[in-house]
Amino acid sequence: MTLAVFFGCTFIAFGPALGLFLFTIAHDPLRIIILIAGAFFWLVSLLLSSLIWFIAVKASNPQDEPLQKGLLIFGVMFSVLLQEAFRFLYYKLLRKAIEGLVALSEDGCSPISIQQMAYVAGVGFGLMSGAFSMINLLADALGPGIVGIHGDSQLYFLTSAFMTMVLIFLHTFWGILFFHGCEHRRWWEIMAVVVMHLAVSGSTFCNPLYVGSLVPSYLLMAAAAAWAYLLSGGSAQNLWRFLLCLRSGASPQPRS
């Protein structure tokens, strides 16, 4: 493989997320702290789920292929549930942090809203998830070796990059939906996030039939994005007004 493949896959996987970070997070130290803490929570959930899976594999018969495949499926599903459990714990922590910020502020207002925290925490979850999904693949992309030499798909690195990108965005939208469900005690929104997460992770077992994992994941991303946009106060009218401003080259003006 070449450096072009390496950098191409890197920019596909992390380019949009880097844009989110630079334009919406990097200018605010508090948001950076929330993002790093969110990434740490995801990392701890991965560590615990990996430990459980490792113990289960060592305690089983390595020659039993159906059992090993079942343990792999169990490990993925358990990891998803643990990630969402840690997302809930992080919400609780941030809720306490908001109360502390309000108590310390002079005007009695928090410098950051729970909706903004949800977005930044989701980006933190997504970036760490993407990093662990892609870092080893990017190392392998530099070679030696040729993808598809035994008849497998040569699009392995490219599809993995697109899958990493969609997972980063999904975690961002799931963070908004999950925190909104916790904030308003709409437990069905939380369950919807868990079901979508399980569905996306389960679809990866369709590989190397990449259409079976990429297409459903991007459809779920579009649905989650629209849902998160509406829950954040957006509307079709606001979106249409914004697009008209872009076409005319004018800056959107706030309504009085």
pLDDT surpassing 90 at residue 104: no
Q: Are 232 and 176 in contact (CB under 8 A)?
A: yes
Binned at pLDDT 50, 70 and 90, residue 140 comes out as: low
Q: Is the dihedral of CA 165, 167, 173, 176 positive or negative?
A: negative
Residue scoring higher pLDDT (256 or 102): 102
Overall average pLDDT of the 174-197 stretch: 94
Domain residues of the chain, as ranges? 1-249
Residue percentage of the chain with pLDDT more than 70: 86
Q: What is the pLDDT of residues 237-246, one digit of tens each?
A: 877 776 777 6
Kindly report the pTM of this predicted structure: 0.87
Binned at pLDDT 50, 70 and 90, residue 256 comes out as: very low
Q: What is the pLDDT of residues 180-189, one digit of tens each?
A: 999 999 999 9
Which DSSP state fits 60?
S
Overall average pLDDT of the 156-161 stretch: 84
Burial class of 148 by CB neighbour count within 10 A (0 to 12, 13 to 18, 19+):
exposed
Name the 3-class secondary structure at 182.
helix
Q: What is the pLDDT of residues 53-80, one digit of tens each?
A: 889 888 888 888 888 888 888 889 999 9
Cα of 209 vs its chain's centroid, Å = 22
